[in-house]
Amino acid sequence: MRIILNYPENVPYLNAEHLDRVLTRHQKDGVRMCKGNFINMVRYAHADARLVTDNIKTIVSAGIATWDQLGFTSDDLEKRAREILLKEIKGMYAALEPDRCLSLEHGGQQNVKKIRTLVEFGIVTWEELGFTDDDLREAIRQMELRDARQHFSWITEYHARQIHIHIDIGTYTWEELGFTEGDLRKRLWEEKQKDKARREACIAEACQLFESLSDPDVSPEKKESSARCIRELAGCAYIRWDELPFIDAQVTERLDVARQVELQS
């Protein structure tokens, strides 16, 4: 935060009286700005509140304003910044509750790591936060339990392995999950059958589109669109080029032939 003094360009030098007026005006601006920032700190994230704290201290150190003029002290400033930090950390902990949308993969692990780091370096204490490391571990366990239940409805081999790992290390039990290992195997088989059906449908659609590239009744615009669709299908999660009875070069070749026919006509 800088205080910039703008002097009139047509004044070759500043006399003492003019300099006093300029400094007084900017001093008032600095005091007003510091007071406003102190009041509004409760709306800031901790990083911004820390920046405001450092800037106000710099202004006081530079003699632009005094603590008496500001109406609060350095301790008041630090206390408010700390209150904001504690509120922010408690918010991160509250976001770990199972009924929240936050997952361990998308923000949960970062929150846990940040909280533990702040405690480890003595920036805050568990007593100030109002919860313990055991509470944090339980919150993580509940999130793992919630995620496992959600994954059961659209289970993949990866998620099935993760569930087995957590069962083996005692994160949760089959009873807590609400389904059995047999249910998991059955659900995984059903999902594989669905994936197989989707893959077969994609292959059939790609083959149909490929054949349309040689159909004289299909417009050139439609053929261009079909070629794009084939490439999109071959790039999706269900099929690969090596599963199709043709390759990308053959798609390009048929398109080139269709373009030449169009030019000749």
pLDDT of the residue at 38 = 84
Residues 175 and 135 placed together within one structural domain of the fold: yes
Q: What percent of the chain has pLDDT over 90?
A: 49
Q: Do residues 24 and 48 both lie within one domain?
A: yes
Of 61, 87, 113, which residue sits at a domain end? 87
> From CA 186, how far away is CA 153, in angstroms rounded?
12
In a domain, 116, yes or no: yes
Q: Is the pLDDT assigned to residue 87 strictly greater than 50?
A: yes
User: Which residue matches tokens 């709306």?
Assistant: 43
* 262 is a domain residue: yes
The DSSP annotation for 24-71 comes to: HHHHHHHHHHHHHHHHHGGGS-HHHHHHHHHHHHHHHHTTSS-HHHHT
Please check whether residue 186 lies inside any domain of the structure: no
Is 187 inside a domain boundary? Answer: no
Residue 197, token pair as written in the block: 């059906």
The Cα 231–Cα 208 span in angstroms is: 13
How many Cα atoms within 13 Å fall on the side-chain side of residue 34? 29
How high is the mean pLDDT of the chain? 85
Q: pLDDT tens across 142-197, in order?
A: 989 998 998 998 898 999 999 999 999 999 999 999 999 999 999 999 999 998 99
Do 141 and 79 share a domain, yes or no? no
Q: Which domain holds residue 8?
A: 1-87
- pLDDT at position 25: 67
Q: Which residues contact 216 (CB under 8 A, 6 or more apart)?
A: 261
Let me know if residue 100 belongs to a domain: yes
- Judge if 14 and 66 occupy the same domain: yes
Look at residues 71, 87, 103 and tell me which one is the last residue of a structural domain: 87
Per-residue pLDDT band at 202 (split at 50, 70, 90): very high
Tell me the pLDDT band of 30, cut-offs 50, 70 and 90. confident
**Which two tokens mark 27?**
């001093």
Q: How confident is the model at residue 15 (pLDDT cuts 50, 70, 90)?
A: very low
Residue 171 has a pLDDT of 93
| 184 assigned to some structural domain | no
21 pLDDT above the threshold of 60:
no
Residue 9 is predicted with a pLDDT of: 44
Question: What is the number of structural domains in the chain?
Answer: 3
- Residue 23 scores a pLDDT above 60: no
| Average confidence (pLDDT) over 103-132 | 89
Given a cut of 90, whether residue 13 has pLDDT beyond it is: no
Is residue 49 a contact partner of residue 87, using CB atoms and an 8 Å limit? no
Whether residue 5 is predicted with pLDDT greater than 80 in this model: the reply is no
Same domain, 147 and 65: no
204 vs 48, more confident: 204
Q: What is the pLDDT of residues 33-62, one digit of tens each?
A: 888 888 888 777 778 888 888 888 888 888
**Residue 191 falls inside a structural domain:** no
The predicted pLDDT at position 8 comes to: 44
User: What are the DSSP E strand ranges found in 143-263?
Assistant: none
Whole-structure pTM value: 0.63
